Structure 1
Amino acid sequence: MASRLPFSSDRLFTIIFIVGLCVSATTASAGSSPPIGRFSLHEKNGRPCFLLDLSATCHVQYEKTDGTPATVSYPVPTYSQATGYCATEQYDPHASSIQLHFGDPFPTRGFNGTFALILNFQRDAPVMTHFWLNEVVSVHTLSPELFPDAKFPNKYVNTYSFGTYLSTSAFQSPRSYLCKRDKLFLLDQYVSEPPTNVTIHYIHVQPFEVQREGRFSQTEECPQDFLSTEEPPSTTTGPYTTDTPVIPVGHFVLHDDKGQACLLANFGAMFRVEYELTQGISRNATYVLPENCTLSGSCEEKIVHVTLSFDTAFNLSASFSSDGKAFKLVSLSVGYVRSSDHFPDAMYPDTSSIEELSNLTLMETDAGKSYLCKEPEVIKIGSNVTLEVLELQIQPFGVKNGSFGEANECNKDNSSTIAPPPTNASFTIVPASSLLPTNRTHTTVMPTLPPPVGPTEPLQGNYTVYDSEGKVCLLADMGLQFRINYTQQNGQIATGVVNVPVDSEVSGKCSESHTSLTLAFYDGTFNLTVSFALHEKDGDSNTYQWKGIYLLFVEVPSIFPGTQQANKPRLISNTSLDLLTTSAGKSYKCNADENVTVTKDMAILVRRVHVQPFGVESGQFSASEECAQDSNGPVDEIAIIVVGVVLFIVALCIAVIGVVGKRREKRMYIPLPSLLD
């Protein structure tokens, strides 16, 4: 009688699983995506905290015994076991992770399983309204059943990749992320193993702030889902597209503080911005300066700044200087956001950039005259922007009666064109009268960027944040000034000074234990968020504090002259501050200046602060707790006065006693003969 070989249930499970993977892999290779699995994580109380719908395929490369490479592809099964963790205040409020284990009857063993796919997510701090996939990890064992003739059978391997993937935009309420287009991840960073690639065919994910009902919140869909399947236009004929845009020639007027016209301009402008595509090639976005753009700026005796903003995401800025005898254009900048409308399929969607030219000497014109140039002028700004200006007439100084002065026409052979116009570019010029009334004017508002002069004192702004029900949840009256260290082109460390404008765009977020205030200013070039936290002791909320600061900005040369990182984005943050400690239910008030070192590269001046981030009743400040500087100041002054008065009285008493004593001496020691006389 033949003996039976031992056969464990674990072994049977593994064989069945491997067969299933092979069948699934064959199906996937036939061109169809694997089915979508639904996974979730829950808190200890059963409430869902992580939602994921996923269809993905792993492509594992391995080395065979003969030294040749091979690849095995298998899908992530819909029955995978999901483990991981959600963002918590106790652990990490900014990170969450989901680990999909499959091919192992004991998934609780974690990375010791046969296969696993791990997706780690992060969100911004301290506002926590924007999240992204920052790490993808593949775990597998080179089992002979699935990896035939492997040189290292049953070897445990994990590969991973870091980055900013599947990124959402910043919103003030919870969002989920959806993408139906294939996304390939190359997992070969910092490991000596052959690379593993993961293709995500479909993903709908919400790793933070899941609703109690366990449903996805409002969805933000990836830009790729809105693109056609056609290939992008070829750029082999040149760096420009062959579109034929209509360029309106507008008439713009800038007024000074007295309401008088201080700058006149007629011109049309077209922008060509080169950007990278997700396919690894470049394309040009082409758009024009619209007739309904917003004019802002400032006029001074020797310098004029003007900015034209449009579509909430684009601007054109120029600065002119004058020595009283003539004026000239000294700087130009173009700011833009890579929106899906204007920058389809961008590799870095919804990111912003500013390109700038400084130290220019263009359009030189005698004082009291205007500069006129009918010929198109093409200017290359930075590395990616080409600006075409046409039908230009401008006068930034000496405007009288709201009319242009005598025209100083440009010399076609000596024009200010500093980049050759594209040979295949064409456009249509539309007269201003067909779009705009000739008397169109604009009111003067705050300039897009502060002028490059010495810093002024910060003004006290009044900022209010509302909760989801429209009630006031944060009040803040304060002046803010930043002193930011930066590196100049000569390697020296310099300091840029920035005052937060009182008309900054205000937003924020409120919860029971965390509140934030966000101020965006200079057309989004600066974005500041300060966060407050409520601290509990023995179950009671005792105090709150200013805990975090998060400043995202661009090193524009007008604020950071000579910077080594011109127009590059920069982030400075500190989430472990301990400022403005106040009893719960009260507001914090301090008239004295408070200077705070945020990091080694940034300090902040807080002036005349009155803030309440929790417990705001009826939209009004509660009773205030004064800072030590304010409460000690009057006491010290009184003490000095009292001590001075006491010392004066003591000195006066000593003087009186001295005088009286001397008189007694004289009476006691009168010479005897004089008494006998």
Structure 2
Amino acid sequence: MKLSHALAALIIGGCAALGCIQAVTLEVKEGNSTCIKAELSASFSITYNTSSSTRTAQVSLPNSATVDTGSSSCGTDGSSPWLVAVFGSGHALGLSFSSNGSLYSVTNLTLQYNLSDTSVFPEANSSIVVTVESASVGIWATINTTYRCVSATTFTVGGATVTFSDVRLEAYMPGNDLSPTESVCMADKASTTAPSTTAATTTTAAPAPTPPGTPEQGTYIVNNSNGTVCLLAQMGLQFNVSYVSKSQNKTVQDFVNLTPNLTSSSGLCEASRATLVLTQEQTTALNFTFTLNSTTNKYHLSGIALLANWSDMTAPFSASNMNLNYLRSTLGRSYMCNAEQTLVVEPNFSLNTFRLHVQPFGVTTNQFATAEECQMDQDQMLIPIIVGAALAGLVLIVLIAYLIGRKRSHAGYQTI
């Protein structure tokens, strides 16, 4: 849904004008059925200019916020589901969602604030309405479960920051109430992992797991709405994940290869953002987010998110990082790296790539454009060139020495 249709989203109000931070319940309905429900607290830090300085407004989402029924939608007719909350004098907060069938995610967070609201922005030197947005903020959950994150989580959105806390949220709801089954965010999992208070025992560290070998290279594509290919990827993928094991009753490190013939691909292509979602047998969902800088015409892998529910896990595993800077290349070219790369996402999750070739923007004729190779491939090509040049130099030196020696030996004989 376009921002003009979504009035997309913002929430602003100072504590004095709009009330201190508190939980707000928001629902998007279609008829008598609820498709999106959110219970959350939100606060905002927004920098703005006055005639003489720069100020920062600290505001929160008040309990008087309401759902904008004209901009919110359950996502019928192929459009994305939207939750748009409005309050105060022209402020709004918007969340759009997408799903690949096994999980759903917040694909766009939009904030709209009205600088003419003097109760929030005193002495602002402008009276315009500002809209800022951030894509793929890392809020993921399994379909038919509630996303829960009690811990405070902050996102950068343009010149503002948005902090959510005490969040219980579900989209694509099968019923009118939040599911009792929850997908818990990593921040909550980390905060509830307390040190043991039992007596210390001597333990032997388990040996590092042996990787299962080089993963098979898979080919994955994303199509535009008109059916043309907009993203191409070929790669072998291997997960390096630490999780709590059912069988061992402790945290283990595991290497798992993605199996291409069991994996489906989906995604979305936009002007400056492209996503690739790989789903394997309803147990693994991996999301790649690529971002294009329209000023420099450079793109990079900016986000990776994993949701896994493997048989030995005590609970579904989720990890994401939307502030990455991997796989950098130029618009109109593809990115290639045959060497093994390790993409660190979080301390408990990294992704190993093998024989990787990807192009998220500017795909034409369903084929990869000329590739920009990674530094590791360039170094590997440089080594044989250096060795070959050294051998050629050595042969040349031996040949010159031989010719000089032969000439000197002939000089010792005189013609009679």
TM-score exceeds 0.5: yes
Alpha carbons of structure 1 residues 659 and 127: separation in structure 2 relative to 1, 3 Å: farther
Shift of 1:472: 1.3
CA distance in 2, matches of 1:122, 1:223: 29
TM-score (norm 2): 0.55
Greater length-normalized contact order (CA 8 Å, ≥ 6 residues apart): 2
* Post-superposition CA distance 1:162-218 (Å, at most 9, x none): 43334103xxxxxxxxxxxxxxxxxxxxxxxxxxxxxxxxxxxxxxxxxxxxxxxxx
Is residue 462 from structure 1 mapped to residue 219 from structure 2 by the alignment? yes
Partner of 1:433: none
Identity of aligned residues (%): 26
Partner of 2:99: none
Alpha carbons of structure 1 residues 454 and 603: separation in structure 2 relative to 1, 3 Å: closer
Partner of 2:8: 49
2:148, 2:167 within 8 Å by CA — same for their partners in 1? yes
Q: From 130, 137, 140, give the equivalent of 1:125.
A: 137
- For the aligned residue pairs, the C-alpha RMSD in angstroms reads 4.7
Alpha carbons of structure 1 residues 573 and 81: separation in structure 2 relative to 1, 3 Å: closer
Q: From 303, 306, 311, give the equivalent of 1:548.
A: 303
Alpha carbons of structure 1 residues 134 and 455: separation in structure 2 relative to 1, 3 Å: closer
Partner of 2:253: 495
Q: From 254, 259, 268, give the equivalent of 1:509.
A: 268
Aligned length: 284
Letter in 2 for 1:81: G
Is residue 536 from structure 1 mapped to residue 326 from structure 2 by the alignment? no
Q: From 348, 365, 384, give the equivalent of 2:181.
A: 348
Shift of 1:631: 4.0
CA distance in 1, matches of 2:363, 2:258: 24
2:234, 2:358 within 8 Å by CA — same for their partners in 1? yes
Q: From 266, 274, 277, give the equivalent of 1:518.
A: 277
* Post-superposition CA distance 1:625-662 (Å, at most 9, x none): 23333345444423322321221221232244335435
Alpha carbons of structure 1 residues 631 and 645: separation in structure 2 relative to 1, 3 Å: same
1:127, 1:531 within 8 Å by CA — same for their partners in 2? no
Partner of 2:193: none
Partner of 2:175: 223
1:520, 1:528 within 8 Å by CA — same for their partners in 2? yes
Q: From 322, 332, 343, give the equivalent of 1:585.
A: 332
Q: From 232, 239, 245, give the equivalent of 1:482.
A: 239
Alpha carbons of structure 1 residues 76 and 168: separation in structure 2 relative to 1, 3 Å: same
Mapping for residues 438-449 of structure 1, pairs under 5 Å = none
Shift of 1:464: 0.9
Shift of 1:346: 4.2
Q: From 581, 599, 608, give the equivalent of 2:346.
A: 599
Alpha carbons of structure 1 residues 570 and 488: separation in structure 2 relative to 1, 3 Å: closer
1:127, 1:516 within 8 Å by CA — same for their partners in 2? no
TM-score (norm 1): 0.36
Shift of 1:595: 2.6
Alpha carbons of structure 1 residues 511 and 128: separation in structure 2 relative to 1, 3 Å: farther
Shift of 1:347: 1.9
Shift of 1:470: 2.2
Matched position secondary structure for 1:648: helix
Q: From 162, 166, 172, give the equivalent of 1:163.
A: 166
CA distance in 2, matches of 1:630, 1:590: 6
Q: From 373, 376, 396, give the equivalent of 1:629.
A: 376
Structure 1, unpaired ranges of 5+: 1-41, 56-74, 100-105, 113-120, 136-159, 170-220, 225-277, 279-344, 353-451, 558-565, 669-674
Partner of 1:227: none
CA distance in 1, matches of 2:324, 2:169: 31
2:8, 2:112 within 8 Å by CA — same for their partners in 1? no
Partner of 1:81: 88
Alpha carbons of structure 1 residues 108 and 570: separation in structure 2 relative to 1, 3 Å: farther
* Post-superposition CA distance 1:504-525 (Å, at most 9, x none): 021111111100111111x221
Shift of 1:553: 1.1
Mapping for residues 344-383 of structure 1, pairs under 5 Å = 346-348=179-181
1:122, 1:133 within 8 Å by CA — same for their partners in 2? no
* Post-superposition CA distance 1:281-301 (Å, at most 9, x none): xxxxxxxxxxxxxxxxxxxxx
Structure 2, unpaired ranges of 5+: 11-25, 30-62, 67-85, 96-105, 123-132, 151-162, 185-208
Letter in 2 for 1:165: R
Matched position secondary structure for 1:223: coil
CA distance in 2, matches of 1:493, 1:133: 22
Alpha carbons of structure 1 residues 635 and 223: separation in structure 2 relative to 1, 3 Å: same
Alpha carbons of structure 1 residues 652 and 493: separation in structure 2 relative to 1, 3 Å: farther
Is residue 109 from structure 1 mapped to residue 109 from structure 2 by the alignment? no
Shift of 1:473: 1.1
Shift of 1:471: 2.1
CA distance in 1, matches of 2:331, 2:338: 20
CA distance in 1, matches of 2:329, 2:278: 23
Letter in 2 for 1:536: S
Alpha carbons of structure 1 residues 163 and 98: separation in structure 2 relative to 1, 3 Å: farther
CA distance in 2, matches of 1:455, 1:511: 36
Q: From 567, 570, 574, give the equivalent of 2:321.
A: 574
Matched position secondary structure for 1:164: strand
Shift of 1:536: 2.4
CA distance in 1, matches of 2:134, 2:310: 25
CA distance in 2, matches of 1:163, 1:122: 21
Shift of 1:462: 0.7
Letter in 2 for 1:639: I
Alpha carbons of structure 1 residues 599 and 622: separation in structure 2 relative to 1, 3 Å: same
CA distance in 2, matches of 1:638, 1:605: 27
CA distance in 2, matches of 1:542, 1:98: 27
CA distance in 1, matches of 2:239, 2:369: 28
Alpha carbons of structure 1 residues 134 and 87: separation in structure 2 relative to 1, 3 Å: farther
Computing the radius of gyration from Cα coordinates, the structure with the larger value is 1
Matched position secondary structure for 1:650: helix
Matched position secondary structure for 2:260: coil
Matched position secondary structure for 2:391: helix
CA distance in 2, matches of 1:53, 1:605: 40
* Post-superposition CA distance 1:97-147 (Å, at most 9, x none): 699xxxxxx9742499xxxxxxxx998535989997979xxxxxxxxxxxx
Letter in 2 for 1:109: S
Matched position secondary structure for 1:641: helix
Shift of 1:467: 1.9
Alpha carbons of structure 1 residues 643 and 456: separation in structure 2 relative to 1, 3 Å: closer
